[in-house]
């Protein structure tokens, strides 16, 4: 199919205005989604409403250490598709599983084909180049039933958003699991996983008991709440993925020789223990609102800069961590049976030791203050008498909160010189990578720099190869070039570019908007039936974005408007003296009149 070029300045103006509307609409959708997320996070009077995954047993123990076959198969699929992060430092079982999967792939072309489909999907759903790319698949895996069913266990509406945005991988994953017999590999490997669990049990128990003893709060205090540690050696040992589902907390870790990032797990466990205490006193914490004005220039996440409850929770946790940290200072005790005459010397040495310990702890608190956690010093000071009191934190927290001199804390915050960047947190999403390649091209196009965006997209096409990533990049480059051509008035090239995108892309948003653009261009050519078919295909792509659905439904309801006149008038203007179409235009289509607008 060819497309007749639409020529006038109105073409370019209409194209620019409507294409900009596409970016604004997409941005508005993202902002709306982000705003809802922030609202949920900042509304700490209630828990988030995502339903807990099936591995959280409501009748199970308060704290548990488990492995999960759905997480296992998802990790195996990611490894088969090039996930190599931390491979050299990982447990030997990771390489063993990879070898068994590779052997199954070598023996079966069908298995390789199924693997390629999974890998293509993963390549097309990369977001930031950070751990968030892996986190979305972990989030989904927690909601899957074990093979062979391997189905989503809950309604998508009750699941976290990051899991639902990759939910379409499930049927592809199921085919891959069956093709390489991952269930058989799981059964053969499960003894090794049991051994890993045995190695983790004692240090995890020690951490839980030690934390409970410091807080003077047994874990059983919170009936109906669960803290689950899921271990999966196929992930990077540097990764800790912490999640909160209502009142249940789940941490996914990757052990190596019985070692995990215990400090990160403990940080999440402190959230599990402490959040209910401060959430129950949210109204009292709200009187600390003046603090937020003082931290607005800090590198804190927005939720900490905009809500006193999460800020207070994090500050208390950091204070506890500073009071209980391993300072690295060699422990010192006065020897038993020393002569009384030598006691002053030993007491002096003990005092020197304590000063060194206090200095390390205070340095940690100072670091937290410069990060923006301005209440850490207050809670650190409050914990010193707490440690000497038999009362638990649940009995003491009310006095800590209600007795705080807010004006004093505001004055202290004003004296702090904040850092420029945040250190991050286990319960904080990782930072996106610096924009490069096609990501940067998209950004330049949205900023109106069409020439730079086009050049970067063409460069991606020149560098293409037969790899799965290259196929996805080529489709994305065609999509960028098609929109750039539309912005510069090259309608025929744009039409061809959108068709190329449809032929090569598997990314739902690219497919949907390619159909929408084509539908609008056909509407301008008065080919209403063909345009309707494109809008229907856009809806069938199901990219899940509201702007896509509204645009496609609008196209089905009414033809894309022409500013000069309607299609009925075109029929009257089709005379032998009318302006002929440019070469390549469909012969049956009416010629374009001057001033005919182009679609976005």
Q: Which pLDDT score is estimated for 16?
A: 35
d(CA 441, CA 321): 43
- The whole-number pLDDT of residue 483 equals 93
What's the pLDDT score for residue 92?
A: 94
What is the token pair recorded at 479? 């999509």
Tell me how far apart the alpha carbons of residues 119 and 469 are, in angstroms, rounded to a whole number: 9
In this prediction, residue 507 carries a pLDDT of: 80
pLDDT in tens, 544-562: 565 777 888 889 999 888 7
Run of H or E residues at 244: strand 240-245
The reported pLDDT for the residue numbered 410 is 96
CA dist., res. 298 & res. 315, Å (int): 14
Q: What is the pLDDT of residue 427?
A: 58
Contacts of 242 (CB under 8 A, 6+ apart): 249, 250, 251, 252, 264, 267, 268, 426, 427
Residue 143 burial class via C-beta count within 10 angstroms: exposed 0-12, middle 13-18, buried 19 and up:
buried
Which of 307, 341, 207, 179 has its CA nearest to residue 267? Answer: 207
3-state secondary structure 7-63: CCHHHHHHHHHHHHHHHHHHHHHHHHHHHHHHHHHHCCCCCCCCCCCCCCCCCCCCE
Q: State whether the Cα torsion 474-477-481-483 is positive or negative.
A: positive
Distance, in Å, from the CA atom of 350 to the CA atom of 335, rounded to the nearest integer, reads 11
Residue owning tokens 């235009």 = 585
Q: How far is CA 435 from CA 328, 363, 451, 578, in A?
A: 39, 35, 17, 49
Q: How many residues does the chain have?
A: 600
Name the DSSP class of 89: G
Which residue numbers in the chain have pLDDT < 50? Answer: 1-49, 429-433, 573-600
State the pLDDT at residue 53. 81
Give the whole-angstrom CA distance, residue 539 versus residue 545: 10
Nearest to 97 by CA among 199, 177, 198: 177
Give Cβ neighbours of residue 43 (< 8 Å, ≥ 6 apart): none
pLDDT of residue 346: 86
Task: Name the CA radius of gyration of the chain, rounded.
Answer: 30
pLDDT of residue 435: 62
Angle between helices 69-80 and 109-124 (to 10 degrees): 90
Across the beta sheet with 63-66, what order do the strands follow?
Answer: 63-66, 227-231, 248-253, 240-245
- What was the pLDDT predicted at 472? 79
> What is this structure's pTM?
0.65
Q: Where are the domains of the chain?
A: 9-32+435-573, 63-253, 281-334+352-414
Q: What CATH homologous superfamily does 9-32+435-573 map to?
A: Tetratricopeptide repeat domain (1.25.40.10)
pLDDT attached to residue 128:
57
Angle between helices 109-124 and 468-487 (to 10 degrees): 40
What φ, ψ does residue 256 adopt, rounded to 5°?
A: -135, 115
Whether residue 493 is preceded by a cis peptide bond, meaning omega within 30 degrees of 0, is: no
Cβ–Cβ contacts within 10 Å for residue 372, how many?
A: 25
Q: Token digits for 140?
A: 């989904």
Q: 243 - beta bridge partners?
A: 250
How far apart CA 397 and CA 211 sit, in angstroms, is 16
Counting Cα atoms < 13 Å in the Cβ hemisphere of 64 gives 18
Q: What angle do CA 264, 270, 271 make, to 5 degrees?
A: 95
């Amino acid at each position: 199919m060819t497309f007749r070029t639409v020529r006038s300045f109105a073409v370019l103006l209409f194209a620019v205005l409507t294409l900009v509307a596409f970016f604004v609409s997409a941005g508005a959708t993202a902002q709306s989604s982000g705003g809802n997320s922030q609202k949920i996070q900042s509304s700490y009077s209630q828990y988030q409403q995502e339903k807990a995954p099936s591995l959280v047993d409501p009748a199970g123990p308060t704290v548990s250490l488990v492995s999960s076959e759905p997480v296992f198969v998802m990790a195996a699929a990611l490894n088969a598709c090039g996930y190599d992060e931390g491979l050299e430092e990982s447990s030997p079982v990771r390489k063993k599983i990879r070898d068994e999967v590779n052997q199954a792939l070598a023996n079966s072309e069908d298995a390789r084909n199924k693997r390629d489909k999974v890998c293509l999907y993963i390549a097309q759903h990369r977001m930031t180049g950070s751990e968030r790319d892996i986190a979305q698949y972990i989030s989904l895996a927690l909601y899957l039933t074990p093979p062979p069913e391997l189905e989503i266990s809950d309604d998508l509406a009750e699941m976290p958003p990051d899991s639902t945005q990759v939910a379409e991988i499930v049927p592809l994953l199921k085919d891959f699991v069956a093709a390489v017999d991952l269930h058989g590999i799981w059964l053969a490997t499960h003894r090794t996983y049991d051994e890993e669990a045995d190695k983790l049990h004692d240090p995890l128990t020690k951490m839980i008991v030690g934390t409970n003893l410091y807080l003077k709060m047994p874990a059983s205090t919170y009936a109906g709440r669960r803290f689950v540690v899921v271990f999966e050696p196929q992930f990077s040992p540097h990764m800790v993925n912490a999640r909160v589902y209502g009142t249940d907390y789940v941490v996914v870790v990757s052990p190596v020789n019985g070692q995990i990032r215990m400090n990160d797990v403990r940080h999440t466990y402190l959230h599990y223990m402490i959040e209910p205490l401060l959430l129950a006193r949210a109204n009292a914490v709200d009187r600390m609102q003046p603090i937020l004005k003082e931290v607005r220039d800090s590198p804190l996440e927005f939720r900490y800069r905009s809500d006193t409850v999460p800020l207070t929770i994090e500050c208390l946790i950091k204070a506890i961590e500073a009071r209980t940290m391993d300072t690295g200072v060699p422990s010192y005790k006065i020897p038993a049976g020393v002569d009384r005459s030598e006691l002053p010397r030993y007491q002096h040495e003990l005092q020197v030791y304590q000063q060194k310990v206090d200095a390390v702890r205070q340095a940690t608190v100072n670091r937290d203050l410069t990060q923006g956690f301005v209440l850490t010093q207050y809670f650190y000071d409050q914990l010193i008498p707490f440690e000497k009191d038999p009362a638990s934190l649940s009995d003491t927290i009310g006095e800590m909160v209600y007795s705080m001199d807010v004006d004093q804390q505001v004055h202290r915050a004003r004296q702090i010189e904040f850092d420029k960047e945040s250190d991050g947190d286990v319960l904080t999403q990782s930072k996106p990578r610096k924009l490069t390649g096609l990501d940067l091209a998209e950004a330049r196009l949205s900023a109106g720099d069409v020439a730079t965006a086009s050049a970067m997209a063409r460069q991606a096409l020149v560098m293409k190869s037969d790899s799965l990533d290259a196929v996805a990049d080529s489709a994305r480059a065609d999509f960028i070039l098609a929109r750039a051509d539309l912005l510069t008035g090259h309608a025929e090239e744009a039409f061809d570019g959108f068709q190329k995108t449809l032929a090569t892309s598997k990314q739902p948003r690219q497919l949907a908007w390619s159909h929408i653009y084509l539908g609008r261009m056909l509407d301008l050519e008065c080919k209403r039936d063909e345009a309707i078919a494109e809008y229907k295909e856009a809806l069938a792509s199901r990219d899940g974005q509201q702007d896509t659905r509204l645009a496609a439904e609008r196209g089905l309801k009414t033809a894309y408007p022409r500013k000069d006149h309607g299609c009925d008038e075109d029929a009257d203007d089709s005379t032998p003296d009318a302006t002929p179409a440019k070469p390549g235009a469909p012969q049956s289509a009416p010629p374009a009149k001057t001033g005919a607008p182009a679609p976005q």
